[in-house]
Structure 1
Amino acid sequence: MRLRNKPWAKEKISAYPQYVVPNPEQYKGKWHELFGNHHPIHIEIGTGKGQFITGMAKENPEINYIGIELYESVIVSALDKLIENDLPNLRLLNVNAKDLASFFENGEVERIYLNFSDPWPKKRHEKRRLTHHSFLELYEQILISEGEIHFKTDNQGLFEYSLMSFSQYGLLLTYVSLDLHHSDFSGNMMTEYEEKFAAKGNRIYRCEVKYRAK
């Protein structure tokens, strides 16, 4: 995907520190202080333009959500949604997911969402896939005991790879759908990509996995 550069994005992000947390490492182990409660924390890695996580935060005020997005030119769209809705249980981080352990204490997160992640199809890029075992190790570190990953994609190759990666890591598969939009699953919150791909007739794959008790 070619990103359209938005040279003004950095300045806009800096103007809203109440929504895009500027120094997230200072809240490691202390996110409850920022949110003002001890509600569970769910994070979305690769939050994109923010439709999914904004919708989830609206529907679940008893959960604190954190959207993580690397690209400034993308996260500003999520920021616009947060400015419009002013959700007290949602914050955004403009950071790299590989640094998660710098921002979250061990066992601080309850659930991780991976929605339509970059498939990085070339073998030499395997380690960049967000379901590679190196990322699974990182997620296990910040997740509670028996924490969950909810994964969704339209890419069959990435889905198959991810199921194998989850299995080899020893994760427990608790839900799987090979055609989400034609299943009995209820409460699906769609992302912008999902709406676009589904409109084209693409099959959407989804699974939920859980780490074993620590």
Structure 2
Amino acid sequence: MRLRHKPYAMEMIETYPQFVIADPEAYKGSWGKLFGNNNPIHIEVGTGRGRFIYEMAKAHPHINYIGIEKFSSVVVDALQKLIDEEVPNLKLINKDAKDLTVFFESEEIDRVYLNFSDPWPKARHEKRRLTYKSFLRNYEQVLVKDGEIHFKTDNQGLFEYSLMSLAEYGMLLHYISLDLHNSDFEGNIMTEYEEKFSSKGNRIYRVEARFRNEPVL
């Protein structure tokens, strides 16, 4: 993805600290206080321009959402949505997701969304993929015992890699779709990339997975 530099991005982000949390580590273990309730918390790692998490927050007001995006020139598009129409159960973080355990306490998150992540197709870049084992370890630490990862992509290679990575980590895969838009799945909210790629006829792949809490027999 080629990013268009937006020189105003950081100033815009700093102008709206009520939407983009500047010091997320200060809320580790107390995000419920920031939202003013004890509702479940769902996070999207790599939230991009924010369409998915913004629409999810509007559709599910009794769930708190946090979108994490490291590129300021991208997260400002998600921020603009909140400026235009504030959604009280949505916050943004302009940080790198590798610091996830710095922002969230153990078992503080109920679900992780990974949507159209960078596939990093070269083998030497495997560790950068958001479904690599080091990232899975971080998700496992912050997720509640029955918490889930929901993953979508149009990249078949990344999907196949992710299924293998999730399975090798010992996760339970309880929903796999090889063609989401031609399945019986209901309530799908598209990302900007999803709409773009699916309009070109690309298949959308999806999996739901959770960490195995019971011992393997």
Q: TM-score range by the shorter chain?
A: over 0.9
Deviation at 1:213, TM superposition (A): 2.2
TM-score where L is the length of structure 2: 0.98
- Tell me how far apart the structure 2 counterparts of residues 138 and 117 of structure 1 sit (CA, whole Å): 16
- Tell me how far apart the structure 2 counterparts of residues 31 and 134 of structure 1 sit (CA, whole Å): 24
- Tell me how far apart the structure 2 counterparts of residues 28 and 20 of structure 1 sit (CA, whole Å): 15
* 2:37 alignment partner in structure 1: 37
Amino acid at match of 2:200: K
Deviation at 1:59, TM superposition (A): 0.4
Q: Mapping of 1:51-90 within 5 angstroms?
A: 51-90=51-90
Amino acid at match of 2:81: K
SS in 2 for 1:5: coil
Amino acid at match of 1:18: Q
Give the length in aligned residue pairs.
Answer: 214
Percent identity, aligned pairs only?
A: 67
Residue by residue over 1:84-121, the C-alpha shift from the partner in whole angstroms, topping out at 9 and shown as x without a partner, is 12011000000000000000000000000000000000
* 1:49 alignment partner in structure 2: 49
- Tell me how far apart the structure 1 counterparts of residues 30 and 23 of structure 2 sit (CA, whole Å): 13
Deviation at 1:147, TM superposition (A): 1.1
Unaligned runs of 5+ in 1: none
Amino acid at match of 1:109: I
Q: Mapping of 1:1-214 within 5 angstroms?
A: 1-213=1-213
- Tell me how far apart the structure 1 counterparts of residues 85 and 68 of structure 2 sit (CA, whole Å): 18
Residue by residue over 1:11-33, the C-alpha shift from the partner in whole angstroms, topping out at 9 and shown as x without a partner, is 00000000000111000000011
TM-score where L is the length of structure 1: 0.99
SS in 1 for 2:207: strand
Aligned CA-pair RMSD: 0.7
Deviation at 1:45, TM superposition (A): 0.4
Moved over 3 A (4+): none
- Tell me how far apart the structure 2 counterparts of residues 75 and 112 of structure 1 sit (CA, whole Å): 18
- Tell me how far apart the structure 1 counterparts of residues 103 and 159 of structure 2 sit (CA, whole Å): 28
- Tell me how far apart the structure 2 counterparts of residues 186 and 176 of structure 1 sit (CA, whole Å): 14
- Tell me how far apart the structure 2 counterparts of residues 156 and 131 of structure 1 sit (CA, whole Å): 14
- Tell me how far apart the structure 2 counterparts of residues 191 and 62 of structure 1 sit (CA, whole Å): 21
Residue by residue over 1:23-61, the C-alpha shift from the partner in whole angstroms, topping out at 9 and shown as x without a partner, is 110000000110000000000000000000000000000
Amino acid at match of 1:15: T
SS in 2 for 1:198: helix
- Tell me how far apart the structure 2 counterparts of residues 68 and 82 of structure 1 sit (CA, whole Å): 15
- Tell me how far apart the structure 1 counterparts of residues 158 and 71 of structure 2 sit (CA, whole Å): 22
Amino acid at match of 1:122: K
Residue by residue over 1:178-202, the C-alpha shift from the partner in whole angstroms, topping out at 9 and shown as x without a partner, is 0000000000000000000001000
- Tell me how far apart the structure 2 counterparts of residues 43 and 84 of structure 1 sit (CA, whole Å): 21
